[in-house]
Amino acid sequence: MAANRTGVTSPRTPLKSILTEKAKGIPNDSAGTVKAQTIEELHSLQRKRSAPNTPLQGTAGAFANLSEDERQRQQLQSISASLASLTRGTGPKVIRGDPGGGKYEAVSHVAHHHHIEAPVISVSDSSLKFTHVLYNLSPGELYEQALKYEKGSFLTSTGALATLSGAKTGRSPRDKRVVIDDTTQDELWWGKGSPNIEMDEHTFMVNRERAVFVNDQFLNWDPKNRIKVRFVSCRAYHSLFMHNMCIRPTSEELENFGTPDFTIYNAGQFPCNRYTHYMTSSTSIDINLNRKEMVILGTQYAGEMKKGLFSLMHYLMPKRHILSLHSGCNMGKDGDVALFFGLSGTGKTTQSTDHNRFLIGDDEHCWSDDCISNIEGGCYAKCIDLSKEKEPDIWNAIKFGTVLENVVFDEHTREVDYTDKSVTENTRAAYPIEFIPNAKIPCFCPHPKNVILLACDAFGVLPPVSKLSLAQTMYHFISGYTALVAGTVDGIKEPTATFSACFGAAFLMLHPTTYAAMLAEKMHEHGATGWLVNIGWCGGSYGSGNRIKLPYTRKIINAIHSGSLLKATYEKTEVFGLKIPSEIEGVPQEILRPENASGLKEAYKNTLLKLAGLFKNNFETFTEYKIGEDKLTEEILAAGPIF
Ligand SMILES: Nc1ncnc2c1ncn2[C@@H]1O[C@H](COP(=O)(O)OP(=O)(O)O)[C@@H](O)[C@H]1O
Ligand SMILES: C=C(OP(=O)(O)O)C(=O)O
Ligand SMILES: [Ca+2]
Ligand SMILES: [Mn+2]
């Protein structure tokens, strides 16, 4: 038996059809003859062996000095350590390849770098059992896995992978648990208003078992503050999602990957045992900072993983005096940078993806002494009612490689109907950032000139745009007001007024005033201007008024970017004391002042006071805290509504 260039030994079956044609003397007018002697050889020729990509344990070793076997051994050892459990301190035997073995027969004899000969072993004793690992598969390989084995996976007409996240189509913030220990007890934000609910170490370990797909990737484009993360998951869909959302290492970077700084175990299709202490449902998202691990059970909503890592960054970065931000970020051709803060569904992704500006990132950033850097390597856009005309760059990013969650499509044409809410209102597309043509890679940029706070005001009383003083910016940053748009958080069906500190309380690990003080200091130092932009209703609340049209918001934001809005004349509103520009080119003047837009002055005033009351009520929890120096604390308290 001859070994071909993929190192496969060829069985004997000759390619009969080729021989038969020759024998008959029929001239062969095809472009070329097949080099393979057998069908198996032909199939093995189809797949060229790719460049090696293997992480090594501990400190980096030069790839060239190690034999292929040794690299494989070290890599499997590192993954095995990640899979060590409560009962097995030393981790299982791991093997690369598809656990189905037989199911993947077509390639099981090919020494492809991801699919080393996988013996089918069915011994129940855990010490003898092999755990099959599919390591850093490519999108193509993950598509095949998803299409073969995961119900609800389909190819759409543009080449995206349509998937279903199961019963959960949004995050489950009530099911987040954080292991409490001597350190975290003092460090973290616990108690009233905090998203961090305690659990103990033992329960964490019970919830942490199984999985097959392994991804090793990075967070944070700032090279000085890069974090190494490993995902262990049971679904190709989740592996592809993280491949798209995190920073993808080059094969060279992967060689030197070493031990991850943090590991996520996602076994979302398996419920947690709700009779376990600390569990209140069959869903559980557990963070153990001491073990540097996170476990996800009972939800397959992929956003849970990216936002879980975001929580981690909210813990790690402030320790390095770096501010983590729930914001989008883009940069103009002249280098002017804008941040877009906002709760889920308030337009961070939509507004940061601007064809005339460079995209730095759509959702999670770090602000260090040197720069703004994106934490992620991909975007996660809401796609309900997505249209090519209004959001062309997002539309065009939905192609091969993109994970399209919970959308409805035509069974035959595979064309997606973005207006269909049958599965959920929170339909999503996750794509690598380079799918946006004007993404700036590497994703970092200079300090921001403008800090835009996005709110979706369902009451229709906040102006479409107002200029904020630093104290007002801090007041609104800490308040984090919006009307939560249906669907993103499980169980919310109608827009409801919500306050979420720092526009992302669900992801904060430390007290909100810690982040607020850092933001104030940085904005002051770099002379950034704060703006409040309402992308919600204007002139009457949800139901009676109209939603501010996206093209108007774009015009407003362009006027902020260009600096022209800074020079406008302003009037101060009653109650909230917001400064409203008297005009903006291309935006109807009457919508700039909501009281003009709304028919009934009386109703407007009542609604305004109602909202002001909600703001005041919400801010009460923060009045005992110091934010920066004494003077700033006082100014912030005075920057809220007065009535
Ligand atoms: N004026 C507007 N500005 C921004 N988004 C708008 C506006 N009007 C409607 N939308 C829609 O609101 C949603 C905003 O979602 P997205 O940008 O994904 O929010 P986030 O990234 O903050 O979670 C999109 O579906 C977008 O099409
Ligand atoms: C993924 C999420 O983020 P956002 O809606 O802010 O894009 C989410 O909140 O579930
Ligand atoms: Ca977000
Ligand atoms: Mn977003």
pLDDT tens by residue, 424-471: 989 999 999 999 999 999 999 999 999 999 999 988 889 999 999 999
Report which ligand 1 atom has the smallest distance to the Cα of 342: 22
* CB 403, CB 160: distance < 8 Å: yes
Mean pLDDT calculated for residue range 473-497: 73
CA 59, chain centre distance (Å)? 29
| E-assigned strand segments in 289-367 | 293-297, 323-325, 327-331, 337-341, 358-361, 365-367
Q: What is the 3-state secondary structure (H, E, C) of 597-621?
A: HCCCHHHHHHHHHHHHHHHHHHHHH
Tell me which residues have their CB closer than 6 angstroms to ligand 1.
342, 344-351, 362-363, 381-382, 384, 535, 547-548, 550, 553
* Alpha-carbon gap, residue 407 to 384, rounded angstroms: 8
* Alpha-carbon gap, residue 44 to 38, rounded angstroms: 10
200-214, 282-296, 299-313 — which one is most confidently predicted on average? 299-313
- What are the two backbone dihedrals, phi and then psi, of residue 392, each rounded to the nearest 5 degrees? -60, -40
Q: What residue has token string 């293997």?
A: 54
Contacts of 637 (CB under 8 A, 6+ apart): 475, 623
The dihedral of CA 382, 388, 390, 395: what is its sign?
positive
* Alpha-carbon gap, residue 600 to 542, rounded angstroms: 15
How does residue 589 score in pLDDT terms, banded at 50, 70 and 90? confident
What's the pLDDT at 583?
Answer: 95
* Alpha-carbon gap, residue 564 to 583, rounded angstroms: 11
Instruction: Tell me the pTM.
Output: 0.85
What's the pLDDT at 39?
Answer: 85
* Alpha-carbon gap, residue 68 to 51, rounded angstroms: 12
What per-residue string of b and e applies to 111-144 under the rule 16 or more CB within 10 Å gives b?
ebbbbeebeeeeeeeeeeebbbbbbbbebebbbb
* CB 365, CB 125: distance < 8 Å: no
Mean pLDDT calculated for residue range 359-388: 98
Instruction: Provide the residue type at 481 as one letter.
Output: Y
Residue owning the nearest CA to atom 16 of ligand 1? 347
Q: What residue has token string 């390989």?
A: 141
What's the pLDDT at 62?
Answer: 43
Instruction: Provide the residue type at 460 as one letter.
Output: G
* Alpha-carbon gap, residue 365 to 368, rounded angstroms: 10
Active-site residues, by number, are 171, 307, 326, 344, 348-349, 363, 428
Give 56 Cα–ligand 2 centroid separation in angstroms: 34
∠517-520-525 over CA atoms, to 5°? 125
Candidate of 325, 329, 353, 382 to mutate for ligand 1, largest count of ligand atoms within 8 Å of Cβ: 382
**In the chain, what are the domains?**
1-48 (no CATH), 173-319 (3.40.449.10), 323-384+425-638 (3.90.228.20)
- What are the two backbone dihedrals, phi and then psi, of residue 525, each rounded to the nearest 5 degrees? -60, -40
Mean pLDDT calculated for residue range 224-253: 96
By mean pLDDT, which of 304-308, 396-400, 463-467, 633-637 is the weakest?
633-637
* Edge-to-edge strands, sheet with 293-297: 93-96, 130-135, 213-219, 227-233, 262-267, 293-297, 284-288, 176-179, 197-199
Mean pLDDT calculated for residue range 363-392: 97
Instruction: Write the pLDDT tens digit of every residue in 54-70.
Output: 554 444 444 456 777 77
By mean pLDDT, which of 79-83, 165-169, 227-231, 535-539 is the weakest?
79-83
Pairing type for strands 537-538 and 444-445 reads unpaired
At 35 the three-state DSSP class reads coil
What's the pLDDT at 341?
Answer: 98
At 552 the three-state DSSP class reads helix
* Residue among 109, 97, 104 nearest 38 (CA): 109
Q: What residue has token string 């060689």?
A: 255
Instruction: Write the pLDDT tens digit of every residue in 483-492.
Output: 754 544 555 4
Contacts of 612 (CB under 8 A, 6+ apart): 575, 576, 641, 643
Q: What is the 3-state secondary structure (H, E, C) of 72-96?
A: HHHHHHHHHHHCCCCCCCCCCEEEE
Is the CB of 303 within 6 Å of ligand 2? yes
Mean pLDDT calculated for residue range 351-360: 98
Report which ligand 2 atom has the smallest distance to the Cα of 343: 6
What's the pLDDT at 27?
Answer: 55
pLDDT averaged over every residue in the chain: 84
Mean pLDDT calculated for residue range 291-302: 93
* Alpha-carbon gap, residue 270 to 98, rounded angstroms: 20
ipTM computed for the complex: 0.96
Give 344 Cα–ligand 4 centroid separation in angstroms: 6
DSSP label at residue 489: B
Joined tokens for residue 215 = 């991804």
* Alpha-carbon gap, residue 326 to 343, rounded angstroms: 8
Give 361 Cα–ligand 4 centroid separation in angstroms: 9
Cβ < 5 A residues, ion ligand 3 = 363
Contacts of 137 (CB under 8 A, 6+ apart): 114, 145, 213, 236, 239, 243
What's the pLDDT at 481?
Answer: 97
Give 350 Cα–ligand 1 centroid separation in angstroms: 5
How many alpha carbons lie under 13 Å from residue 570 in its C-beta half-sphere?
A: 17
* Alpha-carbon gap, residue 451 to 338, rounded angstroms: 6
What's the pLDDT at 32?
Answer: 66
Is the CB of 362 within 6 Å of ligand 2? no
Instruction: Write the pLDDT tens digit of every residue in 16-33.
Output: 444 444 445 555 555 667
What's the pLDDT at 633?
Answer: 87
Residue owning the nearest CA to atom 5 of ligand 2? 344
Distances (CA, A) of 209 to 27, 175, 297: 61, 18, 10
* Alpha-carbon gap, residue 439 to 242, rounded angstroms: 19
Joined tokens for residue 526 = 């770099």
Instruction: Write the pLDDT tens digit of every residue in 506-526.
Output: 999 999 999 999 999 999 999
Is the CB of 345 within 6 Å of ligand 2? yes
Give 145 Cα–ligand 2 centroid separation in angstroms: 26
Above 80 in pLDDT, residue 278? Answer: no
Report which ligand 2 atom has the smallest distance to the Cα of 488: 10
Above 80 in pLDDT, residue 74? Answer: no
By mean pLDDT, which of 38-47, 305-314, 473-482, 514-523 is the weakest?
38-47
Mean pLDDT calculated for residue range 353-372: 98
Alpha helix positions (H), 527-585? 550-562
Above 80 in pLDDT, residue 115? Answer: no
